[in-house]
Amino acid sequence: MLNADNLATVRTFHGLTQRKLAALLDVSQPYIAQVEAGARPLTDSLRNKIAATLDLTADKMAQIMAIDSQRQTLLRAYSSADLR
């Protein structure tokens, strides 16, 4: 499920900056930044608008999160290898 904690992951997966996503949603870039930072809530209305705009389904969300998890695992592996 899309939430404030994974909004940045979903946004960057789609190759969007905060500014570009904000323009697609007709909201301000600072608003997107505040939602991503947890300073403002991700409302149901905005969540639904993002899901419709990015054609997010439960399956697509699961795939995005799995890909991000693999990416983070690889980054940690390479980072720890660099420290040796």
Q: Which residue has the tokens 């905005």?
A: 46
Q: State the Cα torsion 36-38-42-43 to the nearest 10°.
A: -150
Q: At residue 83, does pLDDT exceed 70? A: no
Question: Domains plus CATH for the chain?
Answer: 7-82 (1.10.260.40)
**Reduced to 3 states, what is the DSSP secondary structure of residue 84?**
coil
pTM of the model: 0.83
Contact 25, 84 (CB under 8 A): no
Tens-place pLDDT, residues 20-61: 999 999 999 999 999 999 999 999 999 999 999 999 999 999
